Amino acid sequence: SVSMLPVVSVAAWTLALTPGLRPAPRRSAGAAHMSSSTALPFTKYHGLGNDFVLVDCRELSEPPITPDEARAVCDRNFGVGGDGVIFALPPKEPDSMCSMRIYNSDGSEPEMCGNGIRCLARFFASLQPVDPTYTIDTLAGPIRPTLLPDGTVKVDMGEPILHGPSVPTTLPTNADGVALAAPISAGGFDFTATCVSMGNPHAAIFVDDLEAIEFDTVGPLLESHPAFPAKCNIEFVQVLSRTHLKMKVWERGAGPTLACGTGACALLVAAVLEGRAERAATVTLPGGDLFIEWEEASNRVMMTGPATKVFAGEYSPDH
C-alpha cells in the first residue's frame, strides 16, 4: 500500500539530518530488508518523465530493500510506480557527499543513470546542506552535479568510453577501436550502430524517421543482442539539425522510457563521431529536452536538465 504524505515520519526509518556541508555518515550496518510490517519512506522525482523512487539511506551501508522488492515498489498498479528505485547511501570516497545505487524496474542494477542522478542531486540537497557543486559516487565512478538557480541540474558526466570491447560490444571496430556505424540486425531489420559507454553501454542508431521504426519489436531484441555481452541501452536518433537531435530510447532493464540522460550524452557523442552534429546540441526526448555538450578541450560531456519533485510518502508491502 502507498500513503502520500506531506512529510514522512516513521520511527523505525527516521534519519537525522547531517548539519553543515558534510557528507552522509559512513555506517557499517548492513541492509535492513523489508518485512511485511516495515514502511519505507520515499520521495518521488522525475527527470523529463523518467521517474524514480528516492530513498534516504544515509545511515545504511546497503540498500534497505532487495532487487525483487524494488520491482514491487516500481509496479505502476500495485506499488508506487517508477522506472527505478534510487538509494542515497554514504559516500565511498573522502571528497564525496554521498553514493548512488539504483535498482531498475526489472530488478537489475545499472552502473549509473543520467536522469536519476539529477533527481538524486536535488533530493540529497533537500536532506542536508550542500555546495552548489558536489560529488556523488556511482558504480560508474564519481559524478559532479551542479544545482543551478533556475532549478535545473548540470552534470559533469565524465569522458565517454569509445573503445568497443570496453563498452562492451563485439561489433566490428575501426582502426581506433571504435564501433562506428557498425552493422547490426534484429527482427529482420538492418541498422548501423555507434557504441559509446557513459559508464553504462549505449548504441546509437540513426534513422530518417523515428515513427517508422518497429520500436517495440526491435528495441528488446537489440537490448539483448549477442553483440552486447552486458546488454545495452538502445537509442534511435533522428537528426533535425546539427544542433537539434530527437531520440527514442529502449533502456536496458526498464524498456521504453520518456527520457535517458546517459543515452542523450552517448547519442550526441555518436552524432559527432558520425559527423552528424555539433558538439553542443539540444536533445529532444519523449519527456522533454536536455542540453548536451561534449567539451573538446576536456573531452567531458555536460548534461543540463530538470529534476522535479512529485510527492513524498511511504510504501508498505502488505497490500
- For residue 302, the one-letter residue type is M
Q: What is the pLDDT of residues 224-245, one digit of tens each?
A: 999 999 999 999 999 999 999 9
Residue 265 is among the residues annotated as catalytic for this protein:
no
Q: Given its phi and psi angles, is residue 248 left (phi above 0), alpha (psi -120 to 50 degrees) or beta? A: beta
Q: What is the pTM of this model?
A: 0.85
- 60 is written with which cell numbers? 545504511
- For residue 164, the one-letter residue type is G
DSSP assignment of 29-74: -------TT--EEEEEEEETTEEEEEEE-TT-SS-SS-HHHHHHHH
Residues 213 and 279: their CA atoms lie apart, in Å, by 26
Res. 16 pLDDT band, cuts 50 70 90 = very low
Kindly state the average pLDDT of the residues 278-283.
98
Kindly state the average pLDDT of the residues 135-139.
96
Q: What is the pLDDT of residues 26-42, one digit of tens each?
A: 544 444 455 555 899 99
pLDDT confidence of residue 21: 52
Mean pLDDT value across the chain: 90
Residues 198 and 162: their CA atoms lie apart, in Å, by 9
Would the pLDDT of 5 be above 60?
A: no
- Which of 24-33, 141-150, 185-194, 212-221 has the lowest average pLDDT? 24-33
CB 122 within 8 A of CB 171: no
Q: What is the pLDDT of residues 166-198, one digit of tens each?
A: 999 999 999 999 999 999 999 999 999 999 999
Would the pLDDT of 52 be above 80?
A: yes
pLDDT confidence of residue 131: 97
CB 81 within 8 A of CB 75: yes
Q: What is the pLDDT of residues 287-300, one digit of tens each?
A: 999 999 999 999 99
Q: Coil, strand, or helix at residue 10?
A: coil
pLDDT confidence of residue 38: 80
Residue 260 is among the residues annotated as catalytic for this protein:
yes
pLDDT confidence of residue 139: 95
Of 98, 113, 119, 232, the active-site residue reads: 113
Would the pLDDT of 203 be above 70?
A: yes
- Which of 1-10, 64-73, 116-125, 150-159 has the lowest average pLDDT? 1-10
CB 100 within 8 A of CB 261: no
pLDDT confidence of residue 37: 58
Kindly state the average pLDDT of the residues 129-150.
96
